[in-house]
Amino acid sequence: MSMFLLAVQDTYGSLLAQVGNPTPQAPPGSDKILQLVRYLTWFVLLSGICGIVYAGGRFAWEKWSGGGLESPKMVAGAMIGGVVATSAGTIMNAVIGT
């Protein structure tokens, strides 16, 4: 088995060494896709801000009326969602490892 793996590594190792490291290039028409991604990012940020404002108002209402406190979970969820959404590019760069 090890002889087989050694032969495969010897054959394909020299072949892969000739390929090199290609530079990434944007495909044609990618500017429209990037514009859509920017619009979606803006919408995610806007919805996160609206969620935090709503949760803050609800928190004040719950404190004033003496009800159960559910709004701190909403604030934490909106903040965590915002962190993940705004750092998506950084996360993908770390995973892909360019």
Is the pLDDT confidence value at 17 over 60? no
Let me know: does 70 contact 54? Beta carbons within 8 Å. Answer: no
- 36-94 pLDDT, tens digit per residue, is 988 988 888 888 888 888 888 888 888 888 877 777 888 888 888 888 887 887 887 78
If you count them, how many residues does the chain have? 98
Within 10 angstroms of residue 70's Cβ, the number of other Cβ atoms is: 11
- Model confidence pTM above 0.85: no
State both tokens at 68.
């159960």
